[in-house]
Amino acid sequence: GSAGKTTTTALVGEMCRAAGLRVWVGGNIGNPLIADLDRIEPSDWVVMELSSFQLELMTVSPHVAAVLNITPNHLDRHKTMDAYTAAKRNVVAHQQPEDFALLGYDDANARALALETAAHLLWFSGGAEVEEGAFRTNSELTLRLGDVLGLPKEDGDRVICHAPEVRLRGRHNLLNVLAASVLAGMAGVPVEAMRQVATTFTGVAHRLELVRELNGVHWYDDSIATAPERSLAALRSFEEPIVLLAGGRDKKLPWNEFADETMQRVRQLITFGEAGPMIARVVKESQVNGNEGKLDGITEVETLEEAVEAAAQLARPGEVVLLSPGGTSFDAFRDFAERGDRFKELVQQLG
């Protein structure tokens, strides 16, 4: 998918470990698995995160594949959404009827891949009750894999946990838990192990990671947000007023929805980096177009260091300072992790 891959992959790995399974987690996350090929046994489970860069040349598909969502990303490389979607399609396009494809029901682009695979279809949804897969009804996260796993009818629906019990913030992370539970279920992981992980897992570094609380202000590192869609998900994860740090390098992606959401959820916007002036301009255009909201001001700076300094001056007790740039890190850093580490270092030096 475009967002949620690393968190979902990590969740599946942890669920398998909690069930006592021998599991390998890799691909676009952690260490390359090619170095471990000699140690991977036929009875082991391998959980891989695959990006569009890896998928675009694939001519085989895995036994169990998942596409969480498809939203604009990496258009600086793929040029068009059609080409980007075609790369994602490869993870399910070469499957056979004995394989399984898990698709995000709430995402129209992911849902459309049902027509592109011969595999048995599974679904996850935050709002619709799906025939096979996992879904949320009210506060319950429910797993429905009875027919697929050959379970008795009375064991068909199992409650994984309740939404407030999930430690990860945001609706998007509830979807990640649902997707991970289906995938873990296909590996034979019992619901009890899923529940244990879903209610204790606190996330992966640089993904809505709480850095510290200082003088009543909570500082969050979401440096992984290298596209405006990812920043949207972060903004929607908080009820508190937000001081947002946005910037980096643009990937030729649309920013209008980000601008509108910023108007509604952000009290102070601080832009930095190569894309900073463009982001400030798009948000100001949203203001001019009559989008009235909570935004009190926009501060434009050049560097992350200056952005953190400005945020420290602007943030009030009870608010959130959120680094969720929407752009890549390559204008100033090696990767998003280096940017996130620098942010955390700067925040720890405050006060």
What are the catalytic residues?
Answer: 5, 28, 74
Q: Which of 49, 47, 41 lies closest to 24, judged by CA?
A: 47
- Residues 218, 322 contacting (CB under 8 angstroms): no
CB atoms near residue 31 (< 10 Å): 11
The pair of three-digit structure tokens given for residue 59, joined into one six-digit string: 């001519």
Residue 289's Cβ-count burial label (10 Å; 0-12, 13-18, 19+) is exposed
CA 328 to chain centre: 15
Chain CA centroid to CA 122, Å: 20
Instruction: Map tokens 């009870």 to a residue.
Output: 318
3-state secondary structure at position 247: strand
Task: Locate the DSSP E strands across the chain.
Answer: 23-27, 45-49, 64-67, 100-104, 120-125, 133-137, 140-144, 157-162, 209-214, 217-221, 242-247, 266-272, 297-300, 320-326
Question: What's the burial of 180, exposed, middle or buried (CB within 10 Å: 0-12/13-18/19+)?
Answer: buried
CA dist., res. 278 & res. 72, Å (int): 18
C-alpha to C-alpha distances, 109 to 70, 86, 97, nearest whole angstrom:
6, 11, 22
Instruction: Give the residue among 180, 109, 107 at the shortest CA–CA distance from 141.
Output: 180
User: What are residue 144's DSSP bridge partners?
Assistant: 133, 157
